[in-house]
Structures are given as C-alpha cells and as structure tokens.
Amino acid sequence: MNVVEASGLGKRYGGTWALRECTLEIPAGRVAALVGPNGAGKTTLLNVSVGLSMPSAGAVTVLDGRRAGSPAALDQIAFVAQDTPLYKNLSVADMIYVTRSLNRRFDQPYAKARLAELAIPLRRKAGKLSGGQQAQLALTLALARRPRLLILDEPVAMLDPVARHDFMATVLAAVSADGVSVLLSSHVLTELERVAGYLVLLSRGRVRLAGEVDDLLATHGQASLEELAMAHLRETLPTVTR
C-alpha cells in the first residue's frame, strides 16, 4: 500500500509554479523524509496531500487511493504544521479537550499518560511551555488521534539537539508500536539519517530523487544522506556565467 501517490501533480500560485509534474509513490510503513532547499515545494506538497490546498494540475491520493482532503482520508491522517500550531493561551488540558471535541477518534488516556511521562503539566498554558515541550504536545495530540499516516512539516527546525532527539525518538516509537506511516519534511539532514527509510528530494518544485534510502545510497555511491542530497541538489542549480 502507498500512503501518498501523486501523478503529474502541480500547484501554481499566480504565475509561479510551486510544484510541477510531480509523480511519486511513498510506501506505507516507513518514515519518509521530504528534503530540499527553501522554496523547493515541500510545504506545498504536504498541504496538497493533506487537502489544505487544491492542486492546479494532476492528482494526489493518500492511504491507498483515498482522495486527499476527503473525510475518509482526513479521519486517518494527523498533520502537524510548521511552528507546532497551538492555542498559546489555552492550558494543556484545554488543548486536549479541544482536540478531543474536534475529532471523531481521540485516545485521551494515551494523551494524558504520555504527557505525564514527559512531565508536561496539564494546567500550564501552552504558550508557557518550552519549545521542546510545545513540539511534544503537538505530537502527542496528533498521535492520540490514532492516525495511519502522520505528516510533519519541519517539526524539529527550531528545537535544540536534545529536544530534536527526543522528538524523533517518539516518532520512531509510534512507527514501531502502532505501525504509523510518517512523512516529514526537514532541513536537518543529520537527524533524518538516523530515522528515514525512504527519501523524496525536491528542488525547484520538482521531484529529483525518490526511493529507499539504503538503495539510493548504494546505487549512487554515497556514504551519507546529506552527501546524496547535496550531490543531486548541485545538479539542479542554474549555471552561472560571467
């Protein structure tokens, strides 16, 4: 089963194509890393896959053929956008209540137990938590929905190394324990090296590389994920002449 399938996918904002002719298949049961420079189209691809934005060309389906943004898809996808969006003036307990009220399926005992393990007080306002705690709260609320697909947009960009490690450890535990498929975008390639089993490289709105990380590294003779990504990104840079 594929958790995301795109065929000729394009998204245009005015006269600018943020995505163009993107065709890819992301298999289930993986932590799939979506990498590329700023402006590559990573957030646009995630937003279209979730259904927050409609494609201008082509098509995208999720979870083995469900239309992106359809009720059948949304019920099984959890999405954490950039900057861990939370209601900063609400307490952690209120965030649990709001999320439970807005979703058909929500495992409240799991959410409270996990926050207790992380020593995140239920009475504290979300805006008063540290950056790492806010990221963990957003992730906990997403996982408590018991999704089949977890989509994370730059989840660790603003976190310190310890908080990044703890966050990604939680993601890996969810994959192992619950079989959750994960698609995440990130600039922190060194962190992805440890967790990603599948890679999608975007540059200038197009898919430049996609496949199993081990196969790509072996085929391209690269020692690390960062070296592989940089080698292909250099190929897409415009040639500068004097």
Dump pLDDT digits (tens) for 187-223.
777 778 778 899 999 999 999 999 998 888 888 887 7
Q: Is residue 44 part of a domain?
A: yes
Give residue 27's domain range.
1-74+187-242
Q: Is the pLDDT of residue 115 over 70?
A: yes
* pLDDT per residue as tens digits for the range 87-110: 999 999 999 999 999 998 999 999
Distance of CA 30 to the CA centre of its chain: 12
126 secondary structure, DSSP code:
G
Confidence of residue 113 (pLDDT cuts 50, 70, 90): very high
**Per-residue pLDDT at 238:** 53
Token reading at 219: 């085929």
- For residue 130, being part of any structural domain is answered with no
Q: Higher model confidence: residue 80 or residue 188?
A: 80
Structural domain total, the chain: 1
Q: What are the residue ranges of helices labelled H in the chain?
A: 42-50, 71-74, 92-102, 108-117, 131-143, 161-178, 189-195, 213-220, 225-236
In a domain, 88, yes or no: no
Task: Fill in the DSSP letter of residue 38.
Answer: T
Q: Compare 195 and 122 and report the one with higher pLDDT.
A: 122
CATH of the domain at 23: 3.40.50.300
Residue 52 has pLDDT above 50, yes or no: yes
Structural domain includes residue 136: no
Stretch (H or E) spanning 149: strand 149-153
Per-residue pLDDT, 236 = 64
What pLDDT digit, counting tens, does each position of 128-164 carry?
999 889 999 999 999 999 999 999 998 877 788 888 8
Rounded CA gap, 14 and 127, in Å?
A: 35
Over the range 193-232, which residues count as b (16 or more CB within 10 Å of their CB) and which as e?
Answer: eebbebbbbbbbbbbbbbebbeebbeeeebeebeebbeeb
The verdict on residue 113 lying in a domain is: no
Q: What is the pLDDT of residue 41?
A: 92
Beta bridge partners of 35: 201
DSSP-derived 3-state class of residue 61: strand
Report the alpha-carbon distance of residue 159 to residue 240 in Å, rounded.
35
Half-sphere exposure of 143 (CA within 13 A, CB side): 26
- 177 in a structural domain: no
Dihedral angle computed from the Cα positions of residues 43, 51, 28 and 186, in that order, rounded to the nearest 10 degrees = 10
Is position 206 within any domain? yes
The pTM assigned to this predicted structure is 0.90
**Is the residue at 26 inside a domain?**
yes
Tokens of 195: 């967790």
Give me the chain's average pLDDT, please.
89
Report the distance separating Cα 145 and Cα 152, nearest Å. 14
Q: Are the beta carbons of 185 and 38 closer than 8 angstroms?
A: no
For residue 42, count other CB atoms closer than 10 A to its CB.
24
